[in-house]
Amino acid sequence: MSKAQDSFSIQEVDVSDLCVLVVEDDEIMRLSLEDRLRLEGIPVRVACDVAGAHNQLQKGDVDMVITDIRLPDGSGADLFYDLSQHYPGVPVILMTAFGDVADAVALVKAGALDYLAKPFDLQEFIEKIRRNLSRIQDQHLSADSLGLDGETFRPGSGVLGKSTSMRRIERLVARLTAVDSSVLITGESGVGKEVVASLLHHNSRRDNEPFVRVNCAALPQSLIESELFGHEKGAFTGATQRHIGRFEQANTGSIFLDEIAEIPPETQVKLLRVLQEQVVDRVGGKEPIPLDVRIIAATQVELDEAVRDGRFRSDLYWRLNVIHVHIPPLRDRREDILFLARMFVERHAAEMGIPPKRLSAEAEAKLLSMPFPGNVRELRNILERAVALSDGPRIMAHDLMPFDEDQDELTSPHTLRESVESAERQAILLALTQCGWTIGQAADDLGISRKSLWEKMKRYGIEKE
């Protein structure tokens, strides 16, 4: 292909929805690059130093950073490493004078996208930017884990949501397709951490291998090591046969450790060895078993605070936190509410085998006014019930909150025993909700042991969605 043909094909790619941040302290150079990018139809933001760059990044709609290596309040290298930690998935192109090319090459080896040596031709600049933006736009993700069998979607197209933050997570997942690094997903309960974990697995080279999900908070503390690492026959009383742990079950694939903060300190030590050496020791075993497992962990707890408080090992935290994905709460991305709501209505109707339904304008207005402390999980459950119980093809506002009858059943028992059980059940639900379903914390708040709490939850049929 000739250079002219290549240039034409690059220009044909529509990158008008991808925003570029230019960080350059030389005002004439900054204005020249800004004007040329705007002339090419590429949205652009500008900053003259590292502080200004961070201010622009906090607005949340930057898809690529082009930065000079030398800046008044730091360096392009500092900015690159900050981006790697706090804005993973945002590619960086460096601009450098001839004498700093070696530094730029080192940063490219560390993960920067590319570099340009000054002085450079503006047409060369535009072609390089378009080429790299088009690569971002052309990446695709498998949508199997979202129930869209055989389909694909473009990262940033909004399958996870229409908000900038969720489209950026899609792009990050696409960039990690060939990467086996550990990923730590954070966010409140119900924001969709398991959905993102599933996307990470199904859009990796391990797609056809096992994907094992583990809710660490649901594992009995006395059996957590056996469940994770397995045990040999006779390793302890009741171990009548060999048990293959979750890590071995996930071998060659991925393991998703949800509520990772719930793992007790003594188990954290053994988990660290698994991450460092990629081997697992069964309880009662004599030989380590080699593993090839990708670790994806999630928590709603602020792990850096847990590290400072001594509740979580710092070395394990940094092993898990190679790539950090934070999912904002639904209240901070309200543009996602109606998009997700319409998707849930369509999906629930299809699953129930009933004619399609849609939300009325009043119902949509009601949804937009709700705080959703339970995030996407709460939204999905409300709509599942509305689809099941609403009359006719339209869901009305009053269909969205039909919980009064259930409350009446809970608060109007007919015997003393029912009164006690109802009060106990509500107290457990309240404690679990207030601490984000952290079992240990809820047990402490209720003044009972973790084992007693599990037994009561089982008796009353209390399960985390």
Question: Are the beta carbons of 24 and 46 closer than 8 angstroms?
Answer: yes
Question: Are the beta carbons of 23 and 68 closer than 8 angstroms?
Answer: yes
| Residue 335 DSSP symbol | G
Q: Which of 306, 326, 346 is the last residue of a domain?
A: 326
Does 167 reside within a domain? no
* Torsion sign, CA atoms 382, 385, 387, 390: negative
pLDDT at residue 460, as a whole number: 74
Q: What digits encode the pLDDT tens for the residues 45-100?
A: 999 999 999 888 877 678 889 999 889 998 888 898 888 777 766 889 999 886 67
Which long-range contacts link 81-89 to residues 24+ away (Cβ below 8 Å)? 82/50, 82/54, 83/57, 84/111, 85/324, 86/57, 86/324, 87/57, 87/62, 88/172, 88/323, 88/324, 88/325, 89/168, 89/169, 89/171, 89/172, 89/175
pLDDT at 411 over 70: no
Pair 102, 29 in one domain: yes
Q: Which of 299, 326, 353 is the last residue of a domain?
A: 326
Pair 388, 269 in one domain: no
| Residue 296 DSSP symbol | E
Pair 445, 393 in one domain: no
CATH of the domain at 455: 1.10.10
In this prediction the pTM is 0.67
Pair 204, 297 in one domain: yes
Ordered DSSP codes for 244-261: --HHHHTTTSEEEEETGG
pLDDT at 44 over 70: yes
Does 30 reside within a domain? yes
Between CA 299 and CA 306, with CA 304 as vertex, the angle to 5 degrees is 75
Angle in degrees, 0-180, between the axes of helices 439-446 and 450-459, rounded to the nearest 10? 100
Pair 215, 134 in one domain: no
pLDDT at residue 5, as a whole number: 38
Per the structure, the count of domains in the chain is 4
CATH of the domain at 312: 3.40.50.300
Q: What digits encode the pLDDT tens for the residues 370-393?
A: 888 889 999 999 999 999 988 889
Pair 397, 424 in one domain: no
Does 394 reside within a domain? yes
Pair 305, 190 in one domain: yes
Structural domain harbouring 337: 330-402
Does 163 reside within a domain? no
Question: Are the beta carbons of 161 and 336 closer than 8 angstroms?
Answer: yes
CATH of the domain at 370: 1.10.8.60
Pair 195, 132 in one domain: no
Question: Are the beta carbons of 176 and 71 closer than 8 angstroms?
Answer: no
| Residue 99 DSSP symbol | G
Pair 38, 117 in one domain: yes
Tokens, residue 345: 């209505």
Q: How far apart are CA 157 and CA 155, in angstroms?
A: 5
pLDDT at residue 151, as a whole number: 41
Average pLDDT along the chain: 82
Q: What digits encode the pLDDT tens for the residues 333-354?
A: 988 999 999 999 999 999 999 9
Pair 395, 440 in one domain: no
- Between the CA of residue 323 and those of 61, 118, 132, 184, 315, what are the distances in Å? 20, 32, 22, 6, 15
Q: What digits encode the pLDDT tens for the residues 115-148?
A: 888 888 888 899 888 888 877 665 555 544 454 4
pLDDT at 150 over 50: no
Q: How many CB atoms lie within 10 A of CB 46?
A: 19
Q: Which of 326, 346, 371 is the last residue of a domain?
A: 326
Pair 111, 40 in one domain: yes
Pair 87, 103 in one domain: yes
CATH of the domain at 63: 3.40.50.2300
At 12 the three-state DSSP class reads helix
Does 92 reside within a domain? yes
Query: Nearest Cα to 215, choosing from 273, 156, 262?
Result: 262
Question: Are the beta carbons of 319 and 275 closer than 8 angstroms?
Answer: yes
User: What is the separation, in whole angstroms, between the first and last Cα of the chain?
Assistant: 54
pLDDT at 21 over 90: yes
Does 164 reside within a domain? no
Does 19 reside within a domain? yes
Q: What digits encode the pLDDT tens for the residues 419-461?
A: 566 667 777 877 787 777 888 888 877 878 777 788 788 777 7
